[in-house]
């Protein structure tokens, strides 16, 4: 049975369970459930604190886990990313009150508050900056107002939390994060159960980002139409009963669908339809 770590709380938890559900796995019914077996799919899910997941996976007791790239790097655990999941996207950045420092080079002798000590200590060491780091569990934006630190390093998504605290980002982003699937570094890549799990999640990612497009066009416009809808391999082209017309079917990126429909229409294509893809194996 494949043993998988899933975040039990926080920003990663809901979207991770939703993605697993979309991939056909049973998910826990109550947030208090810590372990759940899905016998049909031969998978056991362990609902763990996101920050602990890389440590469990690196121990080899669990085969794979879903966590944030920032949490993986912060843990220093012996685990590696094998798939990017596209949710819980954020940047990890320094922020200060305006006028404190124009970048990390000016942080010398100051104190930096963060929940991600591992990332910050490494970044400071790499840059040769001699600053202190104080660990706080959360709401680190308040640390400056209360005099615990002059600088914070934290997750930034919309920037609202920083603005509300009267802070501004300084320096370049330390890293970009998103939810990722991890495994123990160097674990065998050919485990069929792991491969099947990854294919299912990849199927969800594709189903979420592509739509199926169907349209009719005159045979003489086919080459131009196919250039607009090249599909993944190549589009399906079938003859229509009306001579000189063909029906075309291809997957297109969902966010480009409306523009492609306009361009096809301008080319003379008609009966242009898009349908959602519910599941997929590439
Ligand atoms: N506002 C946000 N937008 C996007 N991703 C976020 C946001 N806040 C945290 N994350 C991501 O969530 C992961 C941290 O999860 P964790 O559960 O530790 O914290 P949280 O989501 O802030 O929850 P809480 O603070 O309530 O415990 C990290 O990968 C982080 O990048
Ligand atoms: O840029 P924003 O859209 O404002 O998002 C970033 C904020 O979201 C998270 O905080 P959370 O609400 O999880 O509280 P926490 O600081 O206690 O973790 C993170 O720690 C930032 O504070
Ligand atoms: Mg938080």
Query: 46-77: per-residue pLDDT in tens?
Result: 999 999 999 999 999 999 999 999 999 999 99
pLDDT above 90 as % of the chain: 99
Residue 42 confidence class, pLDDT cut points 50, 70, 90: very high
Residue 104 CA: distances (Å) to CA of 71, 125, 147, 274: 22, 11, 19, 49
| 121-147: average pLDDT | 97
Whether the CB-CB separation of 63 and 4 falls below 8 Å is answered with yes
Model pTM score: 0.93
Whether the CB-CB separation of 151 and 95 falls below 8 Å is answered with yes
Q: Ligand 1 atom 27: the closest Cα is on which residue? A: 10
**Distance of alpha carbon 23 from alpha carbon 198, whole angstroms:** 10
Domain 2-87+178-187 belongs to what topology? Answer: D-Maltodextrin-Binding Protein; domain 2 (3.40.190)
Residue 37 confidence class, pLDDT cut points 50, 70, 90: very high
At residue 64, the pLDDT reads 97
Reference 98, options 144, 157, 51; nearest CA is 144
138 CA from centroid of ligand 3 (Å): 6
Q: Taking the domain 90-176, which CATH number applies?
A: 3.40.190.10
Residue 221 CA: distances (Å) to CA of 7, 114, 188, 216, 248: 50, 59, 49, 10, 11
Query: 98-123: per-residue pLDDT in tens?
Result: 999 999 999 999 999 999 999 999 99
pLDDT surpassing 90 at residue 189: no
Q: Which atom of ligand 2 is nearest to the CA of 156?
A: 1
> Does domain 211-276 bear CATH number 3.30.70.120?
yes
219: helix, coil or strand?
helix
In the chain, ranges of CATH 3.30.70.120 domains? 211-276
156 CA from centroid of ligand 2 (Å): 7
Q: Which atom of ligand 1 is nearest to the CA of 138?
A: 25
Q: Ligand 2 atom 5: the closest Cα is on which residue? A: 157
Q: Which atom of ligand 2 is nearest to the CA of 10?
A: 13
In the chain, ranges of CATH 3.40.190.10 domains? 2-87+178-187, 90-176
134 CA from centroid of ligand 2 (Å): 18
pLDDT surpassing 90 at residue 226: yes
| 70-86: average pLDDT | 98
pLDDT surpassing 90 at residue 188: no
At residue 7, the pLDDT reads 98
pLDDT surpassing 90 at residue 86: yes
65: helix, coil or strand?
strand
């Amino acid at each position: 049975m494949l043993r998988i770590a899933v975040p039990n709380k926080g920003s990663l938890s809901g979207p991770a369970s939703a993605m697993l559900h979309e991939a056909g796995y049973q998910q826990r019914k109550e947030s208090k459930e810590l372990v759940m077996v899905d016998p049909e799919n031969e998978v056991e899910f362990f609902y763990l604190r996101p920050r602990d997941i890389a440590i469990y996976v690196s121990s080899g007791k669990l085969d794979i886990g879903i966590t944030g790239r920032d949490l993986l790097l912060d843990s220093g655990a012996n685990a590696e990313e094998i798939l990017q999941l596209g949710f819980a996207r954020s940047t990890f950045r320094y922020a200060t009150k305006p006028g404190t420092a124009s970048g990390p080079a000016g942080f010398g002798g100051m104190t930096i508050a963060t929940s991600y000590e591992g990332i910050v200590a490494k970044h400071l060491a790499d840059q040769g900056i001699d600053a202190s780091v104080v660990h706080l569990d959360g709401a680190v934006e308040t640390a400056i107002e209360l005099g615990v630190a002059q600088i914070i390093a934290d997750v930034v998504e919309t920037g609202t939390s920083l603005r509300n605290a009267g802070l501004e980002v300084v320096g370049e982003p330390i890293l970009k994060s998103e939810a990722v699937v991890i495994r123990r570094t160097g674990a065998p890549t050919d485990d069929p159960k792991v491969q099947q799990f990854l294919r299912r999640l990849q199927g969800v990612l594709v189903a979420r980002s592509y739509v199926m497009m169907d349209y009719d066009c005159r045979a003489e416009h086919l080459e131009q139409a196919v250039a607009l809808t090249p599909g993944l391999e190549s589009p399906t082209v079938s003859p229509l009963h009306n001579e000189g017309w063909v029906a075309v079917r291809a997957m297109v990126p969902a966010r480009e669908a409306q523009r492609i429909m306009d361009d096809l229409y301008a080319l003379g294509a008609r009966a242009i339809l898009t349908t959602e893809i519910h599941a997929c194996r590439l």
